[in-house]
Amino acid sequence: MHAASLSTAGAFAALALEFKKMSDTSPNFPQGRGLYYGGAWHEPKQSGSVEVRSPATDELLCTINVGSAADVRPAVEAAHKGYLEWRDVRPMERARLMKEMGVRIRSNARELALIESMDGGNPISEMMGDVLGTAAMLDYFAGLVTEMKGSSVPYGPEAVSFSVREPYGVVARIAPYNHPLGFSVAKAAAPLAAGNAVVVKPPEQAPLSALRAAELFDGLLPAGVFNVLSGDRDLGAALVSDPGISIVALVGSVPTGKAVMRAAADSLKRVMFELGGKNALIAFPDSDPEKIARAMVAGMNYTWCGQSCGSVSRAFVHEDIYDEVLARMPQYLEKHKPGLPSDPKTTMGALVDRQALDRVTRYIASAHEDGARLIHGGVPPEDPALAKGCFMPPTVFADVTMGMKIAREEIFGPVQAVIKWSDEAEMLRQVNQVEYGLTCAVWTRDVARAHRIISRVEAGFCWINDVARHALGSPFGGYKQSGIGREECLEELLSFTQEKNVWINLNN
């Protein structure tokens, strides 16, 4: 999810006012705070609840009930019943219902944006775009329902051989916390369009928008088609292992992906993964240092505190422009100052929780120990208003080498490593030596060089003279351990179908 905010400055002020009202009364938090499956809300089989707190202020937002492994089987059974009805709904009717899901998201966009901001810590000024992007994804896949086409094979006058595409059954979608609504709802669009039922496990750290979406969709789809199970890793593990799940789709870390794949192997479940990234921006000496500095900051997604798998967390800058680029970075970094998500002027929110902040802090300490040169950030803000939150400003280290942890490991936070290079072959070796291969950005004015470098980098989504752009229909996914499959495109829809061949003997 990479949607720009569509709100105006006047709308930001209105949003801030609504946010304050909501903080006082919490009228728009989901009333259904249990488990949603089979078209109804259920209490957990084993009593359990968790507090949902703001990562920006540590305020208690609400308390929700969470499930356990005991809740998975009845939820999956309900989803299977829903699937048996949903698969027979005509494709254009499925499309109509999915577009209505998008209408309900748009009609409640402001409250969803407020919930997302409070629960996930991201700036309210950006969340409206995230919510509208979710609706756009529903519309996009609704428009592709007639493209689930098989094929025919010529044989001769005595027989016909052709194939059709059919849904798998029940799909488990495990969502991360950086775009909670998008990864819980937008990522359900493709399997729903294909005729599958979906069981969503929203992020533990930010579950509220998925629960609110379940309320908004209640009664629209056949019972059991869209389900939400809040819970921890044990619930997730039970969901992955349940024999009624046909496909597990995950957006998350590489370790989580490996754990899911091991669990899915017992029943040979299909998997689709969008995993981590340690992505490179490569700047050649013919590039404009000003544009490179701006791109390095924009590509790190500091608005989201760097909590983005596609962030260009490694910048390989040629020695000829290295110092000029570093000198120009502060003016762009200063535009991203941590602040309360409720403030429409905030351009950088909070990390999702204390655990995330502690992880980022450890990586910053390791960079100092390894001898990297800090050029910006590195310590929490001193503003008393932010003292209880999980804040860290944009942090940039120069003179980084590939022997340092911050150059090799995904931090998933606002820490960027800048690496000087002179030899193209050695630079490419270093770009490709990590286990990840999600995105890469190449900056040069030489078209032939740009194509040559793109053909050598091991990454699934690449930009030339740009960063962080997505377009629906363009396949997004990674090489190596950054994922399996492609999303945001027709291929994603087809991956949630299985092909059946039919042979007809015409001489019988």
Can 274 be counted among the known catalytic residues? yes
Indicate the SS3 state at residue 499: strand
Burial class (CB in 10 A: 0-12, 13-18, 19+), 186: buried
Closest CA to 313 of 181, 151, 497, 459: 459
Sequential DSSP letters for 209-264: HHHHHHHHHTTTSPTTSEEE--B-HHHHHHHHH-TT--EEEEES-HHHHHHHHHHH
Inter-CA distances, 224 with 84, 115, 259, Å: 10, 25, 27
Closest CA to 461 of 449, 474, 451, 480: 474
| Active-site pick, 111, 126, 204, 274 | 274
Biggest alpha carbon–alpha carbon distance for the chain: 84
What stretch of H or E contains 458? none
Closest CA to 226 of 246, 247, 199, 245: 199
Indicate if the alpha-carbon torsion angle 352, 66, 225, 267 is positive or negative. positive
Tokens 């190596």 found at: 480
For residues 282-315, b (16+ Cβ closer than 10 Å) or e, as one string? bbbeebbbeebbbbbbbbbbbbbbbbbbbbbbbb
Which alpha helices (DSSP H) does 56-168 contain, by range?
Answer: 72-86, 91-107, 109-120, 124-142
Alpha carbons within 13 angstroms on the beta-carbon side of residue 474 total 12
Query: What six digits make up the tokens of 294?
Result: 């701006």
Amino acid (1-letter code) at residue 493: L
Answer yes or no: are the C-beta atoms of 57 and 342 closer than 8 Å.
Answer: no
Where are any strands of DSSP class E within 225-361? 226-228, 247-251, 270-274, 280-283, 314-318
Query: What six digits make up the tokens of 108?
Result: 């409640």
The residues assigned a catalytic role are 274
